[in-house]
Amino acid sequence: MRKIIAIAAVAAVGFAASGAAAGPDRAALAKKQSSLSSEYTLAKDSNFYFVFDVLGRKIELRVRGMVLRTWPLQAMRFWGRPDLAGSVALVRKTTLKAPERIVIKPGEEEAAAPAPAAPAVKNAASAAAPATAADFDLEALELRDMPKRFSFDFDNGLHVTIKAKNADERGFAGTLTDAWRWYVDLPLRNLFGSREGKAISELELTFDEEKDAQSIYWHFFDGIKGIIL
């Protein structure tokens, strides 16, 4: 009799354990179906899209399901509504000083040195001879001209600040402003705003390399669609 009870108990525990294990598996399956379905909708078109994998801590630029570029996150922090996942579109990118295109008007005074087939090298005569092509300062809009700190607004109300780890050029005042914003302003807005139906979703992503942040600014254009997993 004892043996039967023991076997029954073991069977019951096993059954319960398998049920508990099946739960997360089924949830993972549901999540996989949902993310694949969202991605297929985007990948059908020839447009680029991004996938922000929160748990995998990375952002990917993709086309046709193919990963073009991956940016691993160094750090990430968040305030506000946690229901920010799903399909989104970039509404606006904002930065303190947006990069500007160089305008050449041949014949006018400011265009005294119009860009030839190979664009003019700025201050080429006065500067010491650069060691490599990477040292030239060209009349061009390049990755190095992109901001290292900027923000994205998405159509679901999510506001994302993107920055490189060592990119804050605003000094102590900038650090204070950031601290005030993150530790005082956002918690207060989160508390009182949600009561007024103006709940916030604020995300801050930090990247190790300056170039990572800059290339995200370069590759993410207004209207780009994506998925937040």
Partner 1 sequence: MTIKRILIAAAALLWLGFLSVVGAAYFIGLKQAAGWPGDDRDQPIAEKDVAKTEKNVQQLEKRMSGLLPRGPYIVIDTAQNRLFLKNGGQVVREAVVSCGSGVVLEEPGGKKRSWVFDTPRGEFSVKSKITNPYWVKPDWAFIEEGETIPKGMEDRIEAGTLGDYALGFGQGFFIHGTLYTRLLGRNVTHGCVRVGDEDLKAIFKAVPVGAKIYIY
Distance CA 149, CA 160 (A): 11
Among candidates 78, 95, 89, which has minimal Cα distance to 203? 78
15-53: buried (b, 16+ CB within 10 Å) or exposed (e) per residue?
Answer: eeeeeeeeeeeeeeeeeeeebeebbeebbeeeebbbbbe
91 binds partner 1 (CB under 8 A): no
Q: What is the dihedral of CA 117, 120, 125, 126, to 10 degrees?
A: -170
Nearest distance from C-beta of residue 60 to partner 1, angstroms: 12
Per CB under 8 A, the segment of 8-16, 106-114, 152-160, 164-172 that binds partner 1 is: 106-114
Nearer to partner 1 by Cβ, of 42 and 149: the residue is 42
Per CB under 8 A, the list member of 14, 174, 187, 223 interacting with partner 1 is 187
Nearest distance from C-beta of residue 171 to partner 1, angstroms: 25
Q: What number of other Cβ atoms are within 10 A of residue 54's Cβ?
A: 15
Nearer to partner 1 by Cβ, of 9 and 184: the residue is 184
Distance CA 217, CA 195 (A): 34
Q: Which residues ranging from 40 to 79 are in contact with partner 1 (CB under 8 A)?
A: 40, 43-44, 46-48, 54-55, 61, 63-66, 68-69, 78-79
Nearer to partner 1 by Cβ, of 79 and 154: the residue is 79
Nearer to partner 1 by Cβ, of 62 and 163: the residue is 62
On the CB side of 145, CA atoms within 13 Å amount to: 11
Nearest distance from C-beta of residue 26 to partner 1, angstroms: 4
Q: Which residues ranging from 191 to 210 are in contact with partner 1 (CB under 8 A)?
A: 191-192
Binding mask 141-180 for partner 1 (x = CB under 8 A): xxx--x----------------------------------
Nearest distance from C-beta of residue 39 to partner 1, angstroms: 7
